[in-house]
Amino acid sequence: MYPPIHQCHNGHTLCSTCKTRVHNRCPTCRQELGDIRCLALEKVAESLELPCKFTSLGCPEIFPYYSKLKHEALCNFRPHNCPYAGSECAAVGNILFLVAHLRDDHKVDMHTGCTFNHRYVKSNPQEVENATWMLTVFHCFGQYFCLHFEAFQLGMAPVYMAFLRFMGDEIEARNYSYSLEVGGNGRKLIWEGTPRSIRESHRKVRDSHDGLIIQRNMALFFSGGDRKELKLRITGRIWKEQQNPEGDACIPNLCS
């Protein structure tokens, strides 16, 4: 029980969350609870130190009773949600579990290396009612990254968007950068940014427009031909930012 801890006139105790759920009636003796606090138990609670509930996942921390919940909400060892965007997947786990889950259950393409060449073909570029998306997982620098590519409606017109997410926490994601390039007919668009952590939902990242966005007319121009079929090739790379030993500036560490 987390304080405030309440008790009925007969001494039965329960926490404030349960007090609301039982409609102010003691679940043991059915007497009205009122607002009597059990200060003795609250004092005991203040003296306790408890391990993080993610101990089994590797967290070594021990916290005072009141600090435990705050830590657990932000603990780096807490499980990640599945980053697959095509369904409301309920799978949670550590990174290695999710990589295996994406490969085996969602049949996601897996690649090793820090460069990529992604080809997207759509026979009817006018249709985006059911958002078309693709997900590819890349393994480089000992980390995993998710490349998302999809079509969705932005205002009155469909757009195509590609962005990268880091399979880990936000602080670590800031150590990496990536670039995306799409082009054709002598023109090209280039995007550079920092991958977003999978702690943030796919929808939140997409709706922030933090990635390479291609308007439909431009996408059809890149595709060439009669503009009736969408043919986009997106290339890119991932690199790690390293601290310059002579100053505060970061220098890129490119993957060969």
Place of tokens 């079509």: 151
Name the nearest CA neighbour of 135 among 143, 144, 126, 123.
144
What pLDDT does 96 receive? 92
User: 241: helix, coil or strand?
Assistant: strand
- The length of the chain is 256
Domains of the chain listed by start with CATH number: 1-47 (no CATH), 93-240 (2.60.210.10)
Q: Give the pairing type, strands 109-112 and 133-140.
A: parallel
- Cα 99 to the center of its chain, rounded Å: 14
Give, for all 256 residues of the chain, the pLDDT tens digit.
778 899 998 999 988 888 888 988 899 999 888 889 999 998 888 888 889 989 888 899 998 887 888 898 888 889 999 999 866 788 999 999 999 999 999 999 999 999 988 888 776 656 655 456 688 999 999 999 999 988 887 777 778 899 999 999 999 999 999 999 998 888 899 999 999 999 998 889 988 999 999 988 888 888 876 667 778 889 999 999 875 545 444 445 555 3
At position 97, the amino acid (one-letter code) is: F
Which residues does 135 contact at the CB level (< 8 Å), separation at least 6?
83, 84, 85, 86, 102, 106, 108, 146, 147, 148, 149
What pLDDT does 225 receive? 65
Give the CA diameter of the chain: 83
- The C-alpha atoms of residue 54 and residue 11 are separated, in whole angstroms, by 33
State the CB neighbour count (10 A cutoff) for residue 157: 10
- The C-alpha atoms of residue 149 and residue 236 are separated, in whole angstroms, by 13
Question: Are the C-beta atoms of residues 14 and 27 closer than 8 Å to each other?
Answer: yes
Name the nearest CA neighbour of 255 among 171, 119, 145.
145
What pLDDT does 119 receive? 82
What pLDDT does 256 receive? 39
What pLDDT does 127 receive? 61
